């Protein structure tokens, strides 16, 4: 059968199925199971899940228990088919973002929108498409515009169910005998969203209205055919229409493959088996998650905080003057592990959203948690929305984590998301340490940046945009038992890849001048954080070409663990109006790297307008041919005392390009001597060093003595810090604004902060007029929520009274509230049916 | 015990709450019967949450277009319902419940009999017995 025959067949099938659905509707029946509407079905499922503590009231897994091998085979087949769909459809896309990096993911969902199984790829979307489906259900899409066989829906709205608008989703319903039995969704990261600046995640907008095109859960086709109106609309809203068209075909390809797989399973095993499998898989996932938590963690509250900078003061090309202010994200996080293995993630105390594109929605936060959990807690359990039903989230309304305001911008929600998660990895690691699962311990993940983005008229004289995904290949945090993997992956895509340079050059007019491991990027420690890497690019054959940087700058959000050091923070390095062309013509030296930023090597090999700044974010600036741009991809954080690192490992680090020789002594107390200037290594390093064991031992003794000398009692440090805060003498306005914002957001945090530092009950930070005005303006802005009808899963951030119990939080409770001196995961009535 | 609750409007929250709170006991079985004039009970269920709030197990059924009272009685017979409940949608000028056509049809049907109770927001036919 030819592809066009298959297409015709599929469309004919859709029309037949549609007739069955319409006949049912004429009888007053919905498209759900047994005549219910989808909304009835969702309502009943949520009611029964919460009332019984089991997904959809399933206390017995009859399919699994009756024939466990068959159950595993059926599930593995579904999941395998999703992975196949991804691996196949990847090749349809033209962008290296998909084809090289694999920024693509598929999910199979129950009629109520819970994921049954997901493919590999950007697994943050295990739940975002769930939210999008539930949005359509709860806002009566069955009634209008209707949900029928062959329909095609799109969504990229984070307020509905997404992380940010450049992750475009295609979602299609799967019907059998007039019933909607499942949904399949595919999502990929596109190159350009049509924002006010080129690229997928522009940084210079103050609100949603500069984020690019939003497509809020809308129907864009019927009978597996896109509407002509849609085909004309969305290409005009992006600088890269052909890429987006192919991306859409990619997603449709995968969705149709998955649909075919489901149909085949039903043909072979019957629809009742499929329905039962779908239900049990989610309940199984829920149980598996809880049992893993019970096995690997201790109950209680794990508390931490992270910060990251987003600095706009003095930046050019910011769309609004009032947005030219500095932001610091404050993410105090608590992980409450209950004795039954469920948990709550709380960001109580998070500060207010800002006029920047780093704000998050609940779907983004939840997705972020899943992408973390699937890599650490539940790698060998079923990865689906079962975990969703084992967790709840406390996301303060109006904070950067849950703006509930459709005016806010979200183009690069990951900046705050990734930074906010950093302590959560470490919470889990502390639990693993306590329970003895040392091989699972991980110091964290890199801040996934820099993002090289831009656009203009490219080498083919076309309007174009670029978005390098070399950031899919960051250093990973150190493990307890091993160093972190260097330049390996990103927290949101563990299969990440830096991509072939040639593949990037085909779609970016930015030739590579060099690519190398970047020294001193991984956090030092007994176990070193994985090193990042860098690419040096130039610009060629462009006009009105813009480039900008995006990442963490002054701050590193990934602290080290157990005495390890954080990964290096970021910086900007670029050059415009250079003499690179002349250097090429004269065969003179030119910079290929910036391996040692303090050496002056870069500046010695190029003339031009050089920008080297400690910030991580810049707004779009124009670059001409032979401009230069450093793409610096970050490293992971370290674990353990650096003075305990084996000196031979430090020597290897030097030869591998992970540590500069002159920093071996500073960081590790390891003394080395260069013995050969010519030796080459499998790295950018030239030269050979040898270890001076005696000098190293001496130096380490000295460093330990210096530590003792410099150390001070915590009480002394506390008094000094308290005085700083109380007098506010050397606190910059940005810091004060951050804390004042958190205190205004959260009375609990304010009480905790004042109590901890023994401040007066009426203590507030004195802000500049500008900072005060900014806070007042944002707090006065109010809410503009998207959802009219929420799901039960939203209740923990809807400020309702019946929030699920957490062991303790802030100063309201203490360790005295544990159920007993030997608090354990003893059997409780509700958990008695679980593993 | 098994109870049928006939839903004429998704705004029938008070009648449903009265039935679940005062008439039906936790652990009993309930069948919600949606009349063809009602598009969807989803919002009602989301508001009332019968299992969370009242501990009842339930199923939702659509009554087909063109139904008559016999369809309804057959449904009750099939599930051996002990009660049929319907919300009060109309009142007299003095505030008394007005019996609608559907309720009247059930009361007059030959194959079903029982006790007639009027609550604050709902009419309950209980102690149902089924004829030939």
Structure confidence by residue, pLDDT tens digits, A462-475: 999 999 999 999 99
Strand pairing category for A609-613 and A463-467: unpaired
Q: Please compute the mean of the pLDDT values over residues A725-736 and round it to a whole number.
A: 94
Which residue's structure tokens are 């690192």?
A645
- B94 CA to chain A: closest CA distance, Å? 35
Nearest residue of chain B to residue A143 (CA atoms): B39
User: Given pLDDT bands bounded at 50, 70 and 90, which one contains residue A822?
Assistant: low
pLDDT of residue A774: 94
pLDDT of residue A799: 57
Strand pairing category for B2-7 and B29-34: parallel
Q: For residues A785 and A361, what is the distance between their CA atoms, to the nearest angstrom?
A: 11
Phi, psi of A519 (to 5 degrees): -65, 160
Query: What is the CB neighbour count within 10 angstroms for residue A653?
Result: 27
- 3 state SS of B109: coil
User: What strand order describes the sheet that includes A609-613?
Assistant: A512-517, A533-538, A628-633, A572-576, A609-613
Structure tokens at A398: 């109006």
Mean pLDDT of chain A: 92
Nearest residue of chain B to residue A39 (CA atoms): B42
Label residues A691-713 b or e (16+ Cβ within 10 Å = b): bbeeebeebbeebeeeeeeeeee
Across the interface, of B42, B55, B64, the residue whose CB is closest to A40 is B42
The answer to whether the CB atoms of A43 and B64 lie below 8 A apart is: no
pLDDT of residue A804: 58
Nearest residue of chain A to residue B10 (CA atoms): A40
Q: Please compute the mean of the pLDDT values over residues A41-68 and round it to a whole number.
A: 96
pLDDT of residue A101: 86
Across the interface, of B45, B50, B64, the residue whose CB is closest to A40 is B45
Query: What is the CB neighbour count within 10 angstroms for residue A610?
Result: 16
pLDDT tens, A741-765?
999 999 989 999 999 999 999 999 9
pLDDT of residue A793: 86
Task: Count up the domains in chain B and report the number.
Answer: 1
User: Given pLDDT bands bounded at 50, 70 and 90, which one contains residue A823?
Assistant: low
Q: For residues B75 and A779, what is the distance between their CA atoms, to the nearest angstrom?
A: 56
Torsion-angle region of A659 (φ positive above 0: left; ψ -120 to 50: alpha; else: beta): beta
Q: For residues A66 and A194, what is the distance between their CA atoms, to the nearest angstrom?
A: 53
Number of continuous H segments (helices) and E segments (strands) in chain B: 5, 6
Chain A hits for B36, Cβ within 8 Å: 28
| Residue among B60, B64, B67 with most chain A CBs within 10 A, to mutate | B60
Structure tokens at A686: 């030239």
Whether residue A324 is predicted with pLDDT greater than 70 in this model: the reply is yes
- State in Å, rounded, how far the first CA of chain A is from the last one: 47
User: Given pLDDT bands bounded at 50, 70 and 90, which one contains residue A721?
Assistant: very high
For residue A694, what is the DSSP state? Answer: H
pLDDT of residue A586: 98
Q: For residues A727 and A205, what is the distance between their CA atoms, to the nearest angstrom?
A: 36
Whether residue A255 is predicted with pLDDT greater than 90 in this model: the reply is yes
The answer to whether the CB atoms of A43 and B65 lie below 8 A apart is: no
- 3 state SS of A337: strand
CA dihedral over A581, A586, A587, A592, signed as positive or negative:
negative
Query: What is the CB neighbour count within 10 angstroms for residue A673?
Result: 11
Across the interface, of B46, B57, B64, the residue whose CB is closest to A43 is B46
- B75 CA to chain A: closest CA distance, Å? 15
pLDDT of residue A372: 80
The answer to whether the CB atoms of A43 and B45 lie below 8 A apart is: yes
Phi, psi of A503 (to 5 degrees): -65, -40
Q: For residues A104 and B129, what is the distance between their CA atoms, to the nearest angstrom?
A: 60
ipTM over 0.90: yes
Q: Please compute the mean of the pLDDT values over residues A104-114 and round it to a whole number.
A: 97
Structure tokens at B42: 């989803």
Distant-in-sequence, close-in-space partners of A171: CB < 8 Å, separation ≥ 6: A129, A132, A133, A152, A153, A154, A155, A183, A184, A185, A255
Q: For residues A289 and A293, what is the distance between their CA atoms, to the nearest angstrom?
A: 6
pLDDT of residue A816: 43
The residue ranking higher by pLDDT, A317 or A731, is A731
- Bridge partners of A585? none
The answer to whether the CB atoms of B49 and A47 lie below 8 A apart is: yes
pLDDT of residue A243: 94
- 3 state SS of A765: coil
To 5 degrees, how large is the angle CA A529–CA A534–CA A535? 160
Q: For residues A366 and A129, what is the distance between their CA atoms, to the nearest angstrom?
A: 11
- B110 CA to chain A: closest CA distance, Å? 26
pLDDT of residue A311: 94
Which residue's structure tokens are 């304010």?
A750
Q: Please compute the mean of the pLDDT values over residues A164-175 and round it to a whole number.
A: 97
Listed residue (A169, A408, A437, A149) closest to A293, CA to CA: A437
Whether residue A685 is predicted with pLDDT greater than 90 in this model: the reply is no
The answer to whether the CB atoms of B40 and A42 lie below 8 A apart is: no
Chain A hits for B63, Cβ within 8 Å: 28
pLDDT tens, A112-165?
999 999 999 888 888 899 999 999 999 999 999 999 999 999 999 999 999 999
Whether residue A775 is predicted with pLDDT greater than 90 in this model: the reply is yes
Chain B residues bordering chain A (beta-carbon distance below 8 Å): 34, 36, 39-43, 45-46, 49-52, 55, 57-65
Poorest-pLDDT segment among A73-82, A399-408, A816-825: A816-825
* Rounded percentage of chain A residues whose pLDDT exceeds 70: 95
Phi, psi of A445 (to 5 degrees): -125, 160
pLDDT of residue A797: 67
The answer to whether the CB atoms of B62 and A36 lie below 8 A apart is: yes
CA dihedral over A712, A718, A719, A723, signed as positive or negative:
positive
Q: Please compute the mean of the pLDDT values over residues A296-315 and round it to a whole number.
A: 92
Q: CATH number, domain at B10?
A: 3.40.50
- A125 CA to chain B: closest CA distance, Å? 26
The answer to whether the CB atoms of A29 and B62 lie below 8 A apart is: yes
Poorest-pLDDT segment among A153-167, A459-473, B4-18, B95-109: B95-109
pLDDT of residue A800: 53
Chain B hits for A28, Cβ within 8 Å: 34, 36, 62-65
To 5 degrees, how large is the angle CA A804–CA A748–CA A425? 65
pLDDT of residue A827: 41
CA dihedral over A631, A637, A643, A645, signed as positive or negative:
negative
Chain B hits for A798, Cβ within 8 Å: none
pLDDT of residue A807: 52
pLDDT of residue A300: 87
pLDDT of residue A814: 40
Phi, psi of A309 (to 5 degrees): -95, 150
pLDDT of residue A803: 58
**Could you list the residue range(s) of the whole structural domain that residue B59 is in?**
2-130
What SS3 string covers A241-295? HHHHHHHHHHHHHHHHHHHHHHHHHHHHHCHHHHHHHHHHHHHHHHHHHHHHHHH
Nearest residue of chain B to residue A42 (CA atoms): B42
Chain A hits for B65, Cβ within 8 Å: 26-28
Where helices occur in A439-564 by DSSP H, the ranges are 501-507
Which residue's structure tokens are 């130096």?
A699
Q: Please compute the mean of the pLDDT values over residues A635-641 and round it to a whole number.
A: 97
Residue A761, judged by CB atoms within 10 A of its CB (0-12, 13-18, 19+), counts as exposed
Q: For residues A318 and A468, what is the distance between their CA atoms, to the nearest angstrom?
A: 22
């Amino acid at each position: 059968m030819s592809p066009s025959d298959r297409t015709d067949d599929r469309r004919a099938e859709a029309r037949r199925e549609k007739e069955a659905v319409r006949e049912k509707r004429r009888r007053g029946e919905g498209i759900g199971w047994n005549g219910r509407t989808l909304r009835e079905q969702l309502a009943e499922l949520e009611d029964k899940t919460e009332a019984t503590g089991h997904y959809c009231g399933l206390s017995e897994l009859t399919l699994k228990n009756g024939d466990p091998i068959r159950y595993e085979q059926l599930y593995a087949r579904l999941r395998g088919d999703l992975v196949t769909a991804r691996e196949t459809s990847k090749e349809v896309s033209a962008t290296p973002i998909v084809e090289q990096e694999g920024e693509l993911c598929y999910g199979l969902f129950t009629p109520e929108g819970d994921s049954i199984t997901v493919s590999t790829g950007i697994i943050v979307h295990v739940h975002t498409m769930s939210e999008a489906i539930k949005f359509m259900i709860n806002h009566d899409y069955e009634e209008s515009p209707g949900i029928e066989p062959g329909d095609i829906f799109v969504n990229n709205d984070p307020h509905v169910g997404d992380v940010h608008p450049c992750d475009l989703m295609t979602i299609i319903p799967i019907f059998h005998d007039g019933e909607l039995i499942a949904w399949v969704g595919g999502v990929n990261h596109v190159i350009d969203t049509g924002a006010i600046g080129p690229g997928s995640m522009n940084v210079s907008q103050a609100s949603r209205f500069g984020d690019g095109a939003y497509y809020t859960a809308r129907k864009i086709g019927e009978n597996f055919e896109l509407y002509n109106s849609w085909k004309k609309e969305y290409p005009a809203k992006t600088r890269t229409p052909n890429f987006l068209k192919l991306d859409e075909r990619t997603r449709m390809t995968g969705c149709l493959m998955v649909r075919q797989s489901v149909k085949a399973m039903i043909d072979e095993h019957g629809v009742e088996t499929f329905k039962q499998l779908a239900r049990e898989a989610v309940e199984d996932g829920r149980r598996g998650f809880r049992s893993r938590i019970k096995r690997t963690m201790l109950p209680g509250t794990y508390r931490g905080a992270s910060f990251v900078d987003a600095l706009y003061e003095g930046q050019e090309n910011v769309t609004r003057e009032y947005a030219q202010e500095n932001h610091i994200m404050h993410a105090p996080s608590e992980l409450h592990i209950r004795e039954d293995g469920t948990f709550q993630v709380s960001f109580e105390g998070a500060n207010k959203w800002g006029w920047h594109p780093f704000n998050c929605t609940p779907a983004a936060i939840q997705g972020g948690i899943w992408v973390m959990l699937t890599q650490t807690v539940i790698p060998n359990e079923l990865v689906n929305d079962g975990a969703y039903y084992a967790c709840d989230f406390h996301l303060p309304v109006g904070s950067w984590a849950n703006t509930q305001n459709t005016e806010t911008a979200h183009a690069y929600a990951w900046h705050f998301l990734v930074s906010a998660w950093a302590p959560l990895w470490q919470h889990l690691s502390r639990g693993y340490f306590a329970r003895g699962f040392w091989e699972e311990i991980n110091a964290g993940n890199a801040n996934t940046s820099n993002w090289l983005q831009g656009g203009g008229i490219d080498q083919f004289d076309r309007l174009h945009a670029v978005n390098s995904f070399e950031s899919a290949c960051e250093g990973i945090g150190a493990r307890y038992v091993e160093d972190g993997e260097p330049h390996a992956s990103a927290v949101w895509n563990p299969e990440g890849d830096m991509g072939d340079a040639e593949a990037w050059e085909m779609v970016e007019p930015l030739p590579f001048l060099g690519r190398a491991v970047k020294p001193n990027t991984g956090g030092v420690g007994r176990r070193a954080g994985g090193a990042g890497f860098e690419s040096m690019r130039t610009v060629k054959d462009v006009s009105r070409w813009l480039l900008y940087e995006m990442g963490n700058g002054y701050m590193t959000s990934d602290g080290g663990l157990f005495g390890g050091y954080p990964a290096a923070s970021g910086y900007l390095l670029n050059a415009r109006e250079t003499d690179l062309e002349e250097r090429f013509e004269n065969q003179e030296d030119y910079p290929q790297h910036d391996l040692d930023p303090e050496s002056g090597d870069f500046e010695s090999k190029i003339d031009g307008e050089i920008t080297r700044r400690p910030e991580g974010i810049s707004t779009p600036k124009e670059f001409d041919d032979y401009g230069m741009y450093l793409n610096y991809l970050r490293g992971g954080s370290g674990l353990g005392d650096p003075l305990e690192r084996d000196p031979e490992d430090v020597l290897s680090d030097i030869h591998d390009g992970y540590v500069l020789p002159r920093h071996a002594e500073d960081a590790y107390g390891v003394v080395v001597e260069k013995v050969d200037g010519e030796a080459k290594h499998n790295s950018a390093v030239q030269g050979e060093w040898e270890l001076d064991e005696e000098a190293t031992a001496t130096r380490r003794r000295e460093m330990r003595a210096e530590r003792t000398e410099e150390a001070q009692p915590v009480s002394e440090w506390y008094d000094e810090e308290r005085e700083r805060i109380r007098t506010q003498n050397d606190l910059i306005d940005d810091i004060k604004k951050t804390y004042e914002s958190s205190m205004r957001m959260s009375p609990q945090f304010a009480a905790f902060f004042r109590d901890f530092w023994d401040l007066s009950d009426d203590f507030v930070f004195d802000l500049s007029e500008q900072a005060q005005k900014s806070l007042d303006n944002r707090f006065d802005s109010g809410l503009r929520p998207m959802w009219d009808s929420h799901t039960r899963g939203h209740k923990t951030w809807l400020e309702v009274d019946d929030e699920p119990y957490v062991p303790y939080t802030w100063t309201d409770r203490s360790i005295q509230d544990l159920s007993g001196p030997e608090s354990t995961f003893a059997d409780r009535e509700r958990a008695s049916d679980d593993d | 015990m098994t109870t049928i609750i006939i839903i004429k409007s998704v705004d029938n929250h008070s009648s449903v709450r009265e039935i679940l709170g005062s008439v039906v006991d936790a652990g009993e079985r309930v069948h919600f019967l949606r009349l063809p004039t009602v598009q969807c009970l989803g919002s009602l269920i989301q508001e009332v949450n019968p299992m969370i709030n009242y501990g009842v197990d339930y199923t939702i059924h659509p009554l087909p277009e063109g139904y008559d009272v016999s369809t309804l009685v057959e449904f009750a017979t099939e599930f051996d319902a002990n009660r049929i409940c319907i919300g009060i949608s109309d009142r007299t000028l003095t505030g008394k419940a007005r019996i609608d056509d559907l309720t009247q049809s059930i009361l007059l049907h030959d194959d079903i009999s029982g006790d007639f109770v009027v609550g604050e927001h709902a009419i309950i036919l209980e102690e149902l017995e089924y004829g030939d």
